[in-house]
A and B are shown apart, each in its own frame.
Chain A
Amino acid sequence: MNGSALVEARAVSKVYGLSTVLHPTDFVVVASEVRGLVGSNGAGKSTLLKILTGAIAPTSGQVLVDGEIAPPAKPLQMLRRGLACIYQHSNLVAEMSVLDNIFIGRQPTHLGLVQRKLLRQRAQALLARHGMDFDLDATVSTLSTVRQKEVEILKALALDARVLLMDEPTGWLSVSDVTRLHATIDGLRSRGVGIVYISHVLDEVFDICDAVTVMRDGRVVADQPIAQLDRARLIELMVGKTLATQAFDQAHDGVRRAPPTGVPRLRCRALTKRGEFHDVSLEVHAGEILCVTGLVGSKRTELVQTIFGASRFDSGTIELEGVPLEFHSPRAAIANGIGFVTEDRHRDGLMLDLSIAENLVAATLSRYRRGLLLAGARIRATARRLIAALNIQPPNLAKPVRLLSGGNQQKVLLGKWLDMQPRLLILDEPTVGVDIGAKAEIYALLRAARDNGMAVLVVSSDLEEVMTIADRIAVMVAGRLVRTREACETKIVDLVRDMGAVPA
């Protein structure tokens, strides 16, 4: 039993339009093994996972279960073959009960009727076996996020899965819950289950995994037993040797920047939003890049959205150049010179079917009015200037943004806000799904903006990125700002330790 391959991916790849998110990759899940899958955001981990579960079809290559080729993009087939997955994002039906969610799509029936008694017995046996406690009739939408995650785990456990794929299962869990989950995983491993464990928390990887696969920019760069690795080596593999050195140099090269003086551009004092973040105080000065990092779910996005006026807070103050302000809408924030580059450029950043030029001036359109009409010539002039400054490819004003690569889309989004010349620019995960070349260009643009006196606040979970661009680094854990450091005195391991800290 031990050592036999349960699931095997052979040369699978995935291409979306112009961007290759996964280059041809081999991956094997073995019985009685917990395999860690690590890499920074956009490295292709989730894509590989989705190909394995049949959620998406690979552009090329095959998935084999027990040595047989499985049909692509057939999640039901994969489930029947004993392959269950806990995705990063909730896959529960919020308005249904816990019981219904655990057995969704596979309720046992008798004469066409669902056997609720049998269902309940099975669920209770499952709960007892794993030492969990649930009100099976509770509606999922009324549960806390942590409990919802547990329902997802139950859902997978109910399948008696032989292969369990977990995409950042602990992103929302507290430390004691993580311990409990790891005990459960131990139990599954001893029963011959093969487990794939995606996590950003290296402590967890060293704690629970037998072997690690490291991915970077859509490729597998290492595949080794955990015993052969130490933390420094693993981080180096994740970040890449050259980049690791660069990042190190970057952080250490400069003369230490003079400590910022005067009134900070942005100052938050004891900012609190119930259930989200608590007692957050931070300052961003003109000519400075502050990075806020932390794990998924540490509420960084919620914090910056609140500063931008997209949601309200309960207590604390926000000051802009010493003037206390509270924005009740993003419109008010923009009017006060705050720009916000959102995390999901497809969802709320760009108008994909409009042209590059139209997107570039979307935030500053009122400047291009001539009477009731828009001054087309001036818009085109600005767009040309920005396309050249940002090196957007292809340099074609009329090209719909949808047809650009991820990196160029991100540059358009960035250009839209840079053109506004905000006093404070907030960026949420500015380089997710962006190739390395474009990343470097984006970093250069941000540094140039900083050197021109802009205050820049970046939210990022990519530590390599944080080390590269930050002047100061703040770490958030579970809604609290645990530590702020000068970047030039900080090493990645310090940040990793901060991120794994138990919130007070």
Chain B
Amino acid sequence: MIRRRGNSALPIFFLLTFALFCAVVPRFASASNLEALMAGYAFIAIAAMGESFAILLRGIDLSVGAVMALAGMVAFDASLILHLPGYLTIALALVLATFAGALNGVLIVFLRLQPFIATLATLAAYRGIVFTISGRQLVPELSTAALTDPWITGLDAYFDIGATLGVESISLPAVPLSFLLMIVLLVLFEVLLRSTRFGRDLYATGGNPEAARLAGIDLRRTVLIGYGLSGFCAGVAALLLVARLTTSTEALGNGMELTAIAAAVIGGVRLNGGAGSMWGPVIGTFLLGVVLMGLTLFGISQFVQQILTGAILLAAIAHSRWLQARSLFRHSAPEAS
């Protein structure tokens, strides 16, 4: 018998890659570069965790980028046009993002659409809504105005752990709030998946929907909540990005669905559902981040980097296929004992 093995290959591979870039790429191991890495990829990791809920359910969420744009634009309008206080702006954006995600679940559960089709449709629809409600179009003079609300700009805070710990001799990177938020969400989601009924139901629904249904699991509720969480994560990611940019645009989160799916798959979330973790996609995101930032420092062009992103994704899928094929082969052999 084999116990459920954690995917230990991924963290090791990540550390090796990280060490390689530290050794080879000049200035890669600097405090400022590590800050940039954390700030630049924490929000993507959050979106990737959201995407993972959908993939764990045997689905996919193509609308995460569009939901990000929606949440970002709602925050922009609420703060600059409606002059809502920052905490209300944040709450409004998160609630709407969660509903936008849950609507995907509604389409999948009640209209029985394929997740791919449902979220492709909402991707288009949400992008359309973003242009319709865009404060930049409605009030052109605002298009150069920055978001100044302390609640929102506060999301772009950094914590100088070096100073806090009293380490002055070496310069440690300051940790962005977004990275800490990502850690908090990661812990929460891991507990949710491992130790709550919802988490167990989610794995069962993704792993064998018929068995889940016959065990009396409410598949509709599970799917609705799963896609709602995906929307919520996209909303959080959007707010963090908006805080960094101090503005929002119609193009916010463009292409984010691909990065999120890639990070989830690299992180070992099985594309046909029912198997995977939350820390996997987070490491997957930062693996992508290390490679892309390292190559940038190396002076390799953006286009080559895109090719490499694709290649990494293909390699991750091939690797997981290989693992599956190997385990199938093992189990087809008669059990000794």
Binding site for B on A (CB under 8 A): 53, 55, 75-76, 79-80, 85, 87, 90-97, 100, 104-107, 109, 112-114, 116, 135, 137-139, 141-144, 146-147, 274-276
Which residue in A85, A96, A146 is a CB contact (below 8 Å) of B207? A96
Given that A95-B275, A275-B332 are known contacts, is A142 also in contact with B211, CB under 8 Å in the complex? no
In the complex formed, the residue of A with least CB distance to B198 is A112
Check A135–B196 contact: CB distance below 8 A. no
Tell me the residues in window 1-37 of chain B with beta carbons closer than 8 Å to chain A beta carbons: 1-4
Check A142–B195 contact: CB distance below 8 A. no
Check A104–B200 contact: CB distance below 8 A. yes
Tell me the bound Cα distance from A141 to B2 in angstroms: 9
Binding site for A on B (CB under 8 A): 1-4, 191, 195-197, 199-201, 203-204, 207-208, 210-217, 270, 274-275, 327, 330-335
In the complex formed, the residue of B with least CB distance to A80 is B216
Given that A93-B207, A95-B275, A100-B200 are known contacts, is A143 also in contact with B1, CB under 8 Å in the complex? yes
Tell me the bound Cα distance from A52 to B270 in angstroms: 35
Tell me the bound Cα distance from A90 to B330 in angstroms: 19
Given that A139-B2, A141-B327 are known contacts, is A113 also in contact with B211, CB under 8 Å in the complex? no
Given that A104-B215, A105-B201, A274-B333 are known contacts, is A95 also in contact with B2, CB under 8 Å in the complex? no
Check B200–A75 contact: CB distance below 8 A. no
Given that A105-B201, A107-B197 are known contacts, is A141 also in contact with B331, CB under 8 Å in the complex? yes
Tell me the bound Cα distance from A383 to B199 in angstroms: 54
| Interchain Cβ contacts under 8 Å between A and B, 24 examples | A55-B214, A75-B214, A76-B216, A80-B216, A91-B208, A93-B207, A93-B274, A95-B203, A100-B204, A104-B215, A107-B200, A109-B197, A114-B197, A135-B3, A141-B327, A141-B331, A142-B2, A142-B330, A142-B331, A143-B1, A144-B334, A146-B335, A147-B335, A276-B332
Tell me the bound Cα distance from A52 to B331 in angstroms: 34
Which residue in B2, B196, B207, B210 is a CB contact (below 8 Å) of A138? B2
Given that A93-B204, A147-B335 are known contacts, is A105 also in contact with B217, CB under 8 Å in the complex? yes
Check A97–B4 contact: CB distance below 8 A. yes
Tell me the bound Cα distance from A100 to B3 in angstroms: 13
Which residue in A93, A97, A141, A146 is a CB contact (below 8 Å) of B212? A93
Q: In angstroms, how far is the closest chain B Cβ from the Cβ of A127?
A: 14
Check A96–B214 contact: CB distance below 8 A. no
CB contacts (< 8 Å) of B333 on chain A: these are 274-275
CB contacts (< 8 Å) of A113 on chain B: these are 191, 195-196
CB contacts (< 8 Å) of B208 on chain A: these are 91-94
Tell me the bound Cα distance from A275 to B1 in angstroms: 17
CB contacts (< 8 Å) of B327 on chain A: these are 141-142
Which residue in B195, B216, B331, B334 is a CB contact (below 8 Å) of A116? B195
Q: In angstroms, how far is the closest chain B Cβ from the Cβ of A135?
A: 5
Tell me the bound Cα distance from A361 to B27 in angstroms: 67
Q: In angstroms, how far is the closest chain A Cβ from the Cβ of B53?
A: 16
Check A105–B216 contact: CB distance below 8 A. yes
Check A105–B191 contact: CB distance below 8 A. no
Q: In angstroms, how far is the closest chain A Cβ from the Cβ of B217?
A: 4
Q: In angstroms, how far is the closest chain B Cβ from the Cβ of A82?
A: 13
Given that A104-B212, A275-B332 are known contacts, is A138 also in contact with B197, CB under 8 Å in the complex? no
Tell me the bound Cα distance from A105 to B204 in angstroms: 8
In the complex formed, the residue of A with least CB distance to B332 is A275
Known: A85-B214, A93-B204, A144-B334. 7 other contacts (CB 8 A): A91-B210, A93-B208, A106-B216, A114-B197, A114-B199, A144-B335, A276-B332
Given that A107-B197, A275-B334 are known contacts, is A91 also in contact with B1, CB under 8 Å in the complex? no
Tell me the bound Cα distance from A91 to B212 in angstroms: 8
CB contacts (< 8 Å) of A90 on chain B: these are 211
CB contacts (< 8 Å) of B216 on chain A: these are 75-76, 79-80, 105-106
Q: In angstroms, how far is the closest chain A Cβ from the Cβ of B201?
A: 7
Tell me the bound Cα distance from A107 to B203 in angstroms: 13
Q: In angstroms, how far is the closest chain B Cβ from the Cβ of A154?
A: 13
Tell me the bound Cα distance from A106 to B218 in angstroms: 11
Q: In angstroms, how far is the closest chain A Cβ from the Cβ of B277?
A: 12
CB contacts (< 8 Å) of B4 on chain A: these are 97, 137-139
Check A96–B331 contact: CB distance below 8 A. no
Q: In angstroms, how far is the closest chain B Cβ from the Cβ of A73?
A: 10
In the complex formed, the residue of B with least CB distance to A113 is B195
Tell me the bound Cα distance from A113 to B332 in angstroms: 36
CB contacts (< 8 Å) of A138 on chain B: these are 1-4
Q: In angstroms, how far is the closest chain A Cβ from the Cβ of B46?
A: 22
Check B195–A114 contact: CB distance below 8 A. yes
Which 8 residue pairs are nearest across A and B when measured between Cβ atoms?
A: A76-B216, A105-B215, A93-B207, A144-B335, A142-B2, A91-B211, A138-B1, A95-B275
In the complex formed, the residue of A with least CB distance to B204 is A93
In the complex formed, the residue of A with least CB distance to B207 is A93
Which residue in A95, A96, A143, A274 is a CB contact (below 8 Å) of B334? A274
CB contacts (< 8 Å) of B332 on chain A: these are 274-276
Most chain A CB inside 10 Å of its own CB: which residue of B213, B216, B333: B216
CB contacts (< 8 Å) of B215 on chain A: these are 75-76, 79, 91, 104-106
Check B3–A137 contact: CB distance below 8 A. yes
Check A112–B334 contact: CB distance below 8 A. no
CB contacts (< 8 Å) of A146 on chain B: these are 335
Check A93–B203 contact: CB distance below 8 A. yes
CB contacts (< 8 Å) of A116 on chain B: these are 195
Tell me the bound Cα distance from A276 to B208 in angstroms: 25
Check A135–B275 contact: CB distance below 8 A. no
Check B211–A104 contact: CB distance below 8 A. yes
Which residue in B201, B207, B210, B335 is a CB contact (below 8 Å) of A94? B207
Q: In angstroms, how far is the closest chain B Cβ from the Cβ of A152?
A: 10
Check B204–A104 contact: CB distance below 8 A. yes
Given that A114-B196, A275-B332 are known contacts, is A104 also in contact with B2, CB under 8 Å in the complex? no
CB contacts (< 8 Å) of A276 on chain B: these are 332
Tell me the bound Cα distance from A274 to B212 in angstroms: 32
